[in-house]
Amino acid sequence: MTSPANCTVTRTARDSGDRLTALPPLTWAPVPPTKEPALSLTVDPACSFQTIEGFGGAFTESAAVTLHSLPIEQQAEILRAYFDPINGHGYNLCRTHINSCDFSVGNYASADQPGDFDLRHFNLDRDHRDIIPMIQAARNLAGPDLKLFASPWSPPAWMKTNGQMNLGGKLRPECRDVWARHYCRYIAEMAKVGAPIWGITVQNEPAATQRWDSCIYTADEERDFVRDYLGPALHAAGLESVKVIVWDHNRNLLYERVQPIYNDPAASRYVWGAGIHWYSGDNFDNAQAVHERWPDKAILFTEGCQEGGPHPGAWGLGERYARSMIADLNRWTVGWVDWNLLLDDAGGPNHVGNFCSAPIMASPSTGKILYQSSYYYIGHFSRFIKRGARRIICAATRDEVETIAFQNLDQSIVVVVLNRTESSLPLVLRHAGLAVTGTCPARSITTYGFTP
């Protein structure tokens, strides 16, 4: 039997200085015949599952304003940290917003002239201030592999039943056609500035009336809008390759929200898949149920962040991210997209005071950059699991750890092990009759890599 190359080890641990630290590689040997170790992982690429689209975060106005408030050197550092494919996270799947969102510095819309059914006054002037330059700078690092999807939080106020972008309301029936064409116009204008749109979600969090930009759809209303307006508009504009993502809200209602859409063949044919968030409990198995019922539809994690302020230095942030990433990806999710790429040291700016954390925080007054634990934990996935990788079997002997494994297109295998306990565990990683022996420290995440 030919032994694989040495197994690389990359670790982040609370009780050490390790932060995405490359440790000495491990050497493969025959599986030890001794007693069962505290933790044994068996990796088997003979059975594979979903193909990965990528990892990333969101270009919000808040992130872009914060970035451009910093000195040029710090701006470059942050962009490299996320988008450099060699020395950074290699982000390649990111989100942005159509019109304003809660993480904007105010309400705005690209077609804000009341009654502009022909979209004659449509423009991206506000996006050109900060968001588009940030996207362009990221693409200069990431290259054409960077896929971008866009989500509306609200149509322009004049298209809504409540006459404002905030506090919910619904799309006026007579505005369904112009709103569908609005997506197409946005996609066309973004392409002109070198920011091609790979996909769109129909509506961010369509079941939530928020004090910020929001718009309500029932499942039937979302189905009808996609079937009768949005899907046909995209096809008429030659944009049928743009992925349409429904729901874009929490996992708890995922199954019941996609059911009427996917069970309607005329609507379903326009839909690539569903987006999920994490703000209403775990409900991880709902993604599994949706895949089992509709295996041809994708599931994408489209938003998650730590709410309630900036939480500087909190270790639990990273663990929350990694736990969700492992659980979602183990249940057929094809990618995982964080929320704001960057926020200031207060958790904003934010036009409604909805302050949150981000993997990288920065102080506009001092230029100081803070890399949160979430930044390092995300990197254990995004730096090693490449687009086109397929999830493979990873069987663990202990419940205390959470694990997942992938095989990249170059045949290299990546295994991620999360230990959220206060105990260090000896570990044996097994593959094809061989094994490496290591340690899984308390409150740590470790990525193992090897080529069979």
Residues marked as catalytic = 205, 303
DSSP 241: T
What is the C-alpha separation between 341 and 67, in angstroms, rounded? 9
What does the longest C-alpha to C-alpha distance in the chain come to?
A: 77
Find the radius of gyration of the CA atoms of the chain: 22
**Helical pair 373-382 and 316-329, crossing angle rounded to 10 deg:** 30
What are the beta bridge partners of residue 303? 277
- Within 10 A of 222 (CB to CB), how many other CB atoms are there? 24
Tokens of 443: 């409150």
- Within 10 A of 78 (CB to CB), how many other CB atoms are there? 23
What is the C-alpha separation between 363 and 285, in angstroms, rounded? 39
Tokens of 184: 């197409």
- List strand residue ranges (DSSP E) for 198-352, in order: 199-201, 243-250, 273-277, 298-303, 333-340, 343-344
Reported residue count of the chain is 452
Q: CA 17 → CA 23, 220, 240, 250, 330, distances in Å?
A: 12, 52, 49, 35, 29
Do residues 276 and 269 lie in contact, with contact meaning Cβ atoms separated by under 8 Å?
A: no
- Within 10 A of 278 (CB to CB), how many other CB atoms are there? 21
